[in-house]
Amino acid sequence: MELNPNRFNQQAIIALEDIQLKTALDRGTGNADGRRRQAFAELDDAYALRMQARGAKLRALADLPELLEKMEQQVTANGGHVLWASDGEEAKQHIVDICRKHGLTRGVKSKSMATEEIGLLPTLEAAGISMVETDLGEYIVQVNDSHPSHIVMPVMHMTKEQVRDLFMEKLGMEHTNEASDMTAFARKILREEFLSADFGMSGGNFMIAETGTVVIVTNEGNGRLSTGMPPVHIAVVGIEKIVPTWEDFATLVQLLPRSGTGQRMTVYVNMFNGPARTDEPDGPQEFYLILLDNGRSSIYATEYAEALACIRCGACLNACPVYQNVGGHSYGSVYSGPIGAIVTPLLKGIENAVPLPFASSLCGACKAACPVEINIPDMLLKLRRDLEDEQEPLWQVGMKAWRFGNAHPLLYELGGKAASLGTRALTQLTGQDKLDNLPYPLSGWTDYRDFPSFAEKSFHDWWRQNRGAES
Ligand code: SF4
């Protein structure tokens, strides 16, 4: 499945026709958004907590270089190894090199958007190294040879029946309609993988600089098995995931599960400081932390730096009317929804994701849902501004004329009258009761929208006739 953000419009049109997808998205986003609202409603002062979390992330970003150095020192002091990766290729090379060094050929991985972002699996496969996803959603995606459609719930786009059919076709599962049977079936396969793996991989939801700790929050226990059982653990973490202290982590970890899944806390919160100490019976003998940049430091230096405060909770996706209708795959990127519409152009280059900043009604539901109050609509508008030069000349001329007309009241009124007369004439000419389809070059606008008829009398005229004397 090819990922191409520039095909958003075409993918969205296909998605809108897909009834099964609509069913899955309605259920998935509706449940997640409803649970999030409930989880926040029980807080005494949710706004204060969100502001505290925002402050923690923005402070961490302000001190990012120093915190990353501190993290490296602490992990090294704990007996781990830290590797820096300026891009995805370097990160993948580090992983292959580690595998070669220790003779590793069989891996298990807990959910990680960073490894999705760099496209790790095909590289490992080409190097003769097998890797099995162990998060149930990610495992389904892997069996389906697809991509996650949501940053927290990778198979939000699938119904239970589709998962059943996939398992029956690809893995030989017997027919069942029970989700618990499907889970038990996958668990049995994955248990064998955990037992035979010689290395485990994870991402990281947070890094705590003061002690060199990587934290992952999960619900399935696969994170603990992937990172604790095999002799080598490799964590790939985006550099923006760092916070300075446990206090800041304590603030943020109250919000991530609430925002992502509507839980007060996830079932597991796993923390790694390095390899197992000599007095510890469990845990890996080797621990590698790969600090992934991959375009983040270029975002850091721009007016979009706030996007790096994202804790990848997925709440903005669930709240977004565009995502709710077209799903994650339409975005052609591992990062979908409102935050994906910002991060994807910034990471991949704006020319490679031209439609995404426009994939929003700017209703503000994303900002209202965001636990760290990222001003997503504002950044989408700024990206649209940046894209102005990329737009078609006709669009640019139209927007300039619109801006000019709106800035001059007389022109605005005359324009309104001309448009009203013009559309009435067109309606008569085409013999329609109502002008449903505008002619080219305006036809694109009415392909997906109703064209409201102009009122018989403009508001200006009405005001002059009825209230003019009062003013
Ligand atoms: S932008 Fe905010 S709501 Fe969206 S994923 Fe990031 S933290 Fe969550």
Diameter of the chain by CA atoms? Answer: 90
Q: How far is the CA of 252 from the centre of ligand 1 (A)?
A: 12
Cβ 299 under 6 angstroms from ligand 1: no
Model confidence at 468: pLDDT above 90: no
User: How does pLDDT run across 214-235, given as a tens digit for each residue?
Assistant: 999 999 999 999 999 999 999 9
Model confidence at 14: pLDDT above 60: yes
Atom 2 in ligand 1: which residue has the minimum CA distance? 370
How confident is the model at residue 470, as a pLDDT? 65
Q: Give me the phi and psi of 448, to 5 degrees please.
A: -125, 5
Say how far apart CA 207 and CA 62 lie, in whole Å: 15
Please give the structure tokens belonging to residue 57.
């992330």
Quote the pTM value.
0.87
Cβ 339 under 6 angstroms from ligand 1: yes
Atom 3 in ligand 1: which residue has the minimum CA distance? 370
Please give the structure tokens belonging to residue 94.
């580090």
Q: Where in the chain is the domain with CATH 3.40.50.10420?
A: 5-298
Atom 8 in ligand 1: which residue has the minimum CA distance? 313
Cβ 370 under 6 angstroms from ligand 1: yes
Provide the β-strand partners of residue 238. Answer: 292
Query: Three-state DSSP class for 310?
Result: coil
Cβ 68 under 6 angstroms from ligand 1: no
Q: 281: how many CB neighbours lie within 10 A of its CB?
A: 5
Cβ 310 under 6 angstroms from ligand 1: yes
Q: How far is the CA of 43 from the centre of ligand 1 (A)?
A: 19
Least confident of 101-110, 365-374, 406-415: 406-415
Ligand 1 probe mutation, 150, 151, 217, 312, most atoms within 8 A of CB? 312
Model confidence at 471: pLDDT above 60: no
Query: Three-state DSSP class for 133?
Result: strand
Q: 429: how many CB neighbours lie within 10 A of its CB?
A: 10
- Give the confidence band of 469 by pLDDT, cuts at 50, 70, 90: low
Say how far apart CA 337 and CA 22 lie, in whole Å: 15
- Give the mean model confidence (pLDDT) for residues 264-271: 96
Q: Give me the phi and psi of 209, to 5 degrees please.
A: -65, -35
Higher pLDDT, 364 or 451: 364
User: How does pLDDT run across 21-73, given as a tens digit for each residue?
Assistant: 999 999 999 999 999 999 999 999 999 999 999 999 999 999 999 999 999 99
Counted residue by residue, the chain has a size of 471
Q: How far is the CA of 152 from the centre of ligand 1 (A)?
A: 11
Say how far apart CA 246 and CA 51 lie, in whole Å: 17
Model confidence at 454: pLDDT above 90: no
Nearest atom in ligand 1 to 313's CA: 8
Q: Give me the phi and psi of 340, to 5 degrees please.
A: -65, -35
Query: Three-state DSSP class for 312?
Result: coil
Query: How does DSSP assign 193-258, residue by residue?
Result: HHHH-SEEEE--SEEETTTTEEEEEESSSHHHHHHHSSSEEEEEEEGGGEES-HHHHHHHHHHHHH
Q: How far is the CA of 287 from the centre of ligand 1 (A)?
A: 29
Least confident of 63-77, 188-202, 374-388, 439-453: 439-453
Match domain 5-298 to its CATH number in 3.40.50.10420, 3.30.420.10, 3.30.365.10, 3.40.50.720: 3.40.50.10420
- Give the confidence band of 429 by pLDDT, cuts at 50, 70, 90: confident
